[in-house]
Every structure is written in C-alpha cells, then in structure tokens.
Amino acid sequence: MDHDKPAPAPSPSTTDDPAREPSRRAMLRRSLGAAAPVVLTLSSAPVAAGQCITASGFVSAAAFHSRPAQLGVLPCDGLSPAEWAHRAPYWPSDVKTNTRFHKAFGAKTLTPGFPESTTLLEVLQSPMTLEAHITAALLNAYRGGMERPFDTPTAVLLIWDNIRANGGFYKTGDPSSQAPAMTPGGTLQWIAMSWEL
C-alpha cells in the first residue's frame, strides 16, 4: 500500500440526493437478474396437485370454498397419458400396449372417433381424452404406489363404470343417486390430479 497518496475525494453519495436514490425494487431487479421469474415460477405450484383426492372432496372443494378437500395420506405419483405413451416398453407386465380399450375396460370408448379396435397405446396418444386419462390411471394402479381411489385396477375400472353410467361424467356415491355429477372438465381434472405435480 502506498500511504503517501492522498485519498480520493469522496464522490457524492446517492443518498445525498433523494431523487437519485435507487429504489429497493430496482436494486432487487439488478441483483436477481433473470432468476426472478424462475424463482416465482417454482414457488407457484398448485397446493393439491400430485395428491390423491376423493371425488366428493374434489367437488366439495370446488363448490364450497370453506371446505378444504380431503387429501390422501400419501402423494400420488402416477404418470400422465403422454408419459405412458412414451414409456410403452416399461408398462406393467399385466397390461400390453396392443390390448384393445374395450377389452381392458369392458366397454367401448365414449369419445367419438375411436374405433372398436383402438388399443390402449392408441388411446394414450390422444392425451386430452377421457379414455387416455382413465387408461393412465389404470396403468398407474397396476404399477402400484397409488392412493385411493386410484390404488387398484379394480377401483379404476369402477371409476370408468361410473363415468360411463353417467354419460361421461363422474358422479360421487351411487350412480343412481341425485347427487350432481362432475363436469367433463372436472372429471378430467380429478383423474389428472393423480399425476400432476
């Protein structure tokens, strides 16, 4: 260090002039740079996504904001229709990709455009259909580790029976009861909660 040189004159501080004082927001933007949108995106996941939820809990939560949905004890960690379609070699051994949908579920598809010869893999290649959602739920049940009501293949088949009996909508309780059925979109969302994170 050279002690003989005089110290430079202090520069005017930005705090001396309130008009030039940087805002906290501007300082935060400079310090975070491009990371801010990523941080915000990572922290905005839906609260109940990836957790099994009963159909009645799903409907109650949507209809009555004061009643929180009853979530399963363990998170659901199933795969989506698109994920199953891309992982055909890794399907559970009990289910084959060329199995016809109507053979696996005991009934024809509800979505127009699927011929009777449609296989489970072909259904999964139309991932936004009710049939693709229920097929993914069935594969997840065969794979194991799912919570009620998607925990067994038999339970998923009963869900499909309920949906067919109600014209494409899931209805909680006895299908012949007077309880309102879910909407088509609500039915898809409810099934998808078993794999969405």
Residues 64 and 125 in one domain: yes
Residues 79 and 122 in one domain: yes
Q: CA nearest 177: which of 189, 185, 165, 194?
A: 165
CA distance 4 to 10: 18
Angle at 17 between CA 15 and CA 23, to 5 degrees: 60
pLDDT in tens, 86-118: 999 999 999 999 999 999 999 999 999 999 999
144 part of a folded domain: yes
Domain span including residue 97:
51-192
Residues 79 and 18 in one domain: no
Residue 64 is predicted with a pLDDT of 43
Single-letter amino acid, residue 45: A
Residue 147 is predicted with a pLDDT of 86
1 part of a folded domain: no
Residues 39 and 57 in one domain: no
Single-letter amino acid, residue 44: S
Residues 115 and 34 in one domain: no
> With 70 as the cut, is the pLDDT of residue 132 above it?
yes
Distances in Å between the Cα of 57 and the Cα atoms of 20, 53, 158, 173, 195 are 55, 6, 18, 12, 17
Residues 152 and 129 in one domain: yes
pTM: 0.62
Residues 78 and 39 in one domain: no
pLDDT in tens, 137-187: 999 999 998 888 899 999 999 999 999 988 898 888 765 666 667 888 889
Q: Identify whether the C-beta of residue 111 lies closer than 8 Å to the C-beta of residue 130.
A: yes
Domains of the chain: total: 2
